Amino acid sequence: ELSFIHRYEPATDPTRPPLLLLHGTGGDESDLLGLGRTISPGSALLSPRGKILENGMPRFFRRLAEGVFDEEDVRLRANELADFVAEARRAYGLEAPVAVGFSNGANIAAAMLMLRPEALSGAALLRAMVPLSDAPKADLAGKRVLITSGAMDPIVPAENAKRLAASLSESGAEVQHEILPTGHNLSQTDLQLMVRWFSR
């Protein structure tokens, strides 16, 4: 028994990296499977369900208000999720996955990069923001990170997403940050950018 409710699809193309799919608030372990198959066909898909419930909606960590995080819980949950990734890698025989996270899922993936960089080989962070005000300096050399933000996102201020991009690249990650003319929801352009990013 692994420590998170999850879905797993084995790889059909062994040259593709495994994906760790992390849903947004109110999503679940099935939400991003279709997205994963589209952006990296043939990748193994590992998709856990967040353990926090906010009015019945699954999430990956607690928040005090929209955009205001319980940072102690962010740390605890990022470590717990990194432990799950290690368990799942042993159980399924996987390399370190690339995280693909949307919104709350992108935020926990960003926290994992900062706290447990060994857990991920890279990350696509869709509508992410800075998850921790005083993150430890991680060594992200060799890790690729794609961040896609919405210029009109009411939840993630553009300045905040830029700070996240700057902090990850200062830690050595190879960051591509795209600001799209859209809001918090994903657009066709997000998909195209991810397909291109994964094919490199």
Question: Catalytic residue numbers?
Answer: 103, 153, 184
Q: How far is the CB of 83 from ligand MLT (least distance, A)?
A: 20
**The two three-digit tokens of residue 12, written as one number:** 């059909």
In terms of CB distance, is 74 or 138 closer to ligand MLT?
Answer: 74
DSSP 60: S
Q: How far is the CB of 58 from ligand MLT (least distance, A)?
A: 10
In terms of CB distance, is 24 or 48 closer to ligand MLT?
Answer: 24
Quickly list DSSP for 97-166: PEEEEETHHHHHHHHHHHH-GGG-SEEEEES-----TT------TT-EEEEEEETT-SSS-HHHHHHHHH
In terms of DSSP bridges, do strands 68-69 and 63-65 run parallel, antiparallel, or are they unpaired?
A: antiparallel
Q: How far is the CB of 24 from ligand MLT (least distance, A)?
A: 5
Exposed / middle / buried, residue 173 (Cβ in 10 Å: 0-12, 13-18, 19+): buried
Residues of the shown chain interacting with ligand MLT in the complex, contacts defined by CB under 6 A: 24-25, 63, 66-67, 103-104, 107, 155
Q: How far is the CB of 71 from ligand MLT (least distance, A)?
A: 12
In terms of CB distance, is 45 or 111 closer to ligand MLT?
Answer: 111
Phi, psi of 17 (to 5 degrees): -75, 150
What is the C-alpha separation between 187 and 72, in angstroms, rounded?
32
In terms of CB distance, is 82 or 96 closer to ligand MLT?
Answer: 82
